[in-house]
Amino acid sequence: MRQIFFDTETTGLEADKGDRIIEIGCVEMVDRQLTGNNLHLYINPERASHEDALRVHGLTEAFLADKPKFAEIVDQLLAFLAGAELVIHNAPFDIGFVNAELRRLKRGVLTDHVASVRDTLLMARDLFPGKANSLDALCRRLEVDNSKRTLHGALLDAELLADVYIRLTRGQDALLMDDHGDSGGDAHAAFEAVDLSRFELPVIRASEAEAAAHAKLLIDLDKAAGGSCKWRVLEPAPVVA
């Protein structure tokens, strides 16, 4: 399976009010292995970033002035994403911005060009209900090193997301993996039944000293409980001769 971990930086938070994409980061993974075939683009948004957004990403108008406009990179971007599953943290945000850019160019919507979209924020909320599930919070919880994330950057965030995703989904495919780590075969294949009756399990009995120590412990528990403790229920009934 080909997956693309996808992130954007933008001039603000509202695509429907004219905010634009200024950076795109794409990290490719095939069959749960990073390939190193990544895509990183800076884009001239033709407008200034809001002050709050600028504090987050640090990409100034002067830096972006000589970068290509979205119309100049759209073919490269869509070719790179074609047919892949996109993995995005808070997918509606990034998809909303890409769709706004595509609509300006009459190029449809992003889901016309990719196989599917997976939202790791929804995954995290299912796994960790009631907890903070930002990318930074997940990095801390899953022990992903994000010490270089002093500012938000689309490529760095996509790389961190790939690491977070692997840890979020670790073990899910274990039952379907062969010795080489590849999934295959019939997931419902029958396994040979093992007759457990042919095994004789050893019974290790307590020594006299261990039995005496256990009896003393029960007496102490009885005193603490003000009556018979629950362990007494497990004692075997006396044998009547």
Which residues are marked as active site?
152
* Three-state SS sequence of the chain: CEEEEEEEEECCCCHHHCCCEEEEEEEEEECCEECCCCEEEECCCCCCCCHHHHHHHCCCHHHHCCCCCHHHHHHHHHHHHCCCEEEECCHHHHHHHHHHHHHHCCCCCHHHCCCEEEEHHHHHHHHCCCCCCCHHHHHHHCCCCCCCCCCCCHHHHHHHHHHHHHHHCCCCCHHHECCCCCECCCCCCCCCCCCHHHCCCCCCCCCHHHHHHHHHHHHHHHHHHCCCCHHHHHCCCCCCC
Separation of alpha carbons 26 and 5, rounded Å: 6
